[in-house]
Structure 1
C-alpha cells in the first residue's frame, strides 16, 4: 500500500532560486523527509483557467512563463513522466454536472511547478500532473482541495505552489519591507490557530493584506492545500521560513 502523503503549500521562487545559497537545500531536505510519492499533483499560481483544466499527461516541453532572465534559465529541462491515471482520478473527483473539467493536453509545467520540483525531486522520476486554478475565490478553492484530499491516501503528493507574500515592489528593497514581515507573521499565526475564517477573508483581516498580495493568485494555492488537509490544520508546520528579496518564502506541510 502506498504511504499516505501530506499536503504542501510552498513558495516556489523565480528561476534564480537555483542560485540561492540556502533555499535549494531547504527544498531538498524537505523532500528527503517525505515518503516517496506515487505521483505529484501541482496547483500553481501561474495557471488560471476556468473551468478547471488538466494539463499534459505525458512529458511535453516546459512553459517558460517569464521574461528578462539570462538565457540559461530557458534551457532548464524537467522531463518527469506524465500521470494519466492521476488525471483520470482528478476527473472523477472534480467533475460533476455543474462542474466541468477540461483537458489541455499540450500544456506543460510552468515555473511554479518545475522550479521547486527541480530542487525537490531532481531525478524527475516521479509522475507529475498540473491542474489549473479555476477561480481565485478562496472558498471555492478550499472545496477543490477537499475533493482532491482522497488522493493523499493513494500516495499522491498534493502541492499548492504560490508565494506567502507576493508584491514585486519588494524586489526593489534591500531589506524586508514591513508589510511583508507583518503579513507573514499574521498568516502563520492564523494557520497555527486554525483560523480558517480569517484566512478566507485575508484581504480585509490581515495587516497589509493588499500590499502583501495586490492580486490573490500567489496566496490562492494555500486554500487548495488547506482543503486537502481535510480540516486538520493543527497538523500544519512551517518547514521553510524567512525571506527572499523581501518576499516571505514560508512553506507549510499538513499531515
Structure 2
C-alpha cells in the first residue's frame, strides 16, 4: 500500500449539507480513515480564474460566501484553517512559476463546506487552487504536475459534483428521493469508468457518458475530477474506491479516493 496521501474527488454539497442527517457523517468517517495530511490543496468548482491562481497563503482571511438566498446562519460559518505558504511555494514550483497569488481570497463553499465536516478542528493548512480552464486534457496535465506534492504529505482534493443539474434540485422533496434517470445513468457510467481506470473515456465523457449534457449542462463541477485523475496518474496508481455514494436532491454525491 502506498505511503503517500491519497487523492480525492468529492461532491461538496451546498451550505445546507451541514444539516443533512447522513452526508456529514459519511464525510467525517471518510476523513477518519485517512492519515492526517500535512496540508490540503483543494480545487473547487466555484473558482474559475486564469492564469492559475492560489488563495491566501500568508495569513488567515475570511471565507467567501459565494451563494445567495440562504438563511442567515449559513453566512456565519467560519473555518480558520492555518495558511499554507510552503504549499503555495511548492505549487508555484510544480507549475513552473506561472501561478498568481490572491492574498485576499479565502476559501469558497466548494472548499470549506466539505472541510468543515472532514477536518472540523481546522488545524490542517489549506490552500485553494483556481480552475484556469475547463478543458479535461489540460486539467489532467495540471494534476500530473501537482502529483509530486503528495511526497510532502499534501492531500490533493478535487471538489465538484458527480452530477450537477440544478433543475433537479427541489428542496421541498426528500433529500434521498429517487434521482432522475439521467443522474442515475451518468452516475453508474462514472462509477464503472473510474473503477476500470478508463482515463480515455473519462476525458472524453462528453461523447461517451450517457446524458452527459443533462448531468452537466456546464462542466465546472465535473472538471475538478481531471486534476484528481492527473495527480493520481502522476504518482502511478489510478486504483480507486467509492468513498461516498447515493444521491442528494437528485444530484449524485459519489466521491472517490485514489490510492
- Does 198-207 or 236-245 show the bigger shift? 198-207
Verify the 8 A CA contact 1:191 1:233 in the aligned structure 2: no
Residue of 184, 199, 206 corresponding to 1:196:
199
Is 1:242 the counterpart of 2:246 in the alignment? Answer: yes
User: Corresponding residue for 1:217?
Assistant: 220
User: Corresponding residue for 1:8?
Assistant: 8
Q: Distance between the aligned counterparts of 1:233 and 1:200, measured in 2?
A: 17
Q: Distance between the aligned counterparts of 1:233 and 1:169, measured in 2?
A: 36
What is the aligned length?
250
User: Corresponding residue for 1:254?
Assistant: 258
Please give the secondary structure, in 1, of the residue aligned with 2:128. strand
Please give the secondary structure, in 2, of the residue aligned with 1:9. strand
Residue deviations 1:187-227 (CA, integer Å, cap 9, x gap):
11011112111111111111000000000100000000000
Q: Distance between the aligned counterparts of 1:198 and 1:124, measured in 2?
A: 36
Instruction: Write the mapping of 1:147-186 to structure 2, written as runs, cut at 5 A.
Output: 147-172=145-170, 174-186=177-189
Verify the 8 A CA contact 1:226 1:233 in the aligned structure 2: no
Cα RMSD (Å): 1.1
Residue 234 of structure 1: CA displacement?
Answer: 4.3
Residue deviations 1:166-196 (CA, integer Å, cap 9, x gap):
0001113753100000000001101111211
Q: Distance between the aligned counterparts of 2:216 and 2:102, measured in 1?
A: 28
Q: Which runs of 5+ in 1 are unaligned?
A: none
User: Corresponding residue for 1:89?
Assistant: 90
User: Corresponding residue for 1:131?
Assistant: 129
Q: Which runs of 5+ in 2 are unaligned?
A: none
TM-score (norm 1): 0.96
User: Corresponding residue for 2:23?
Assistant: 23
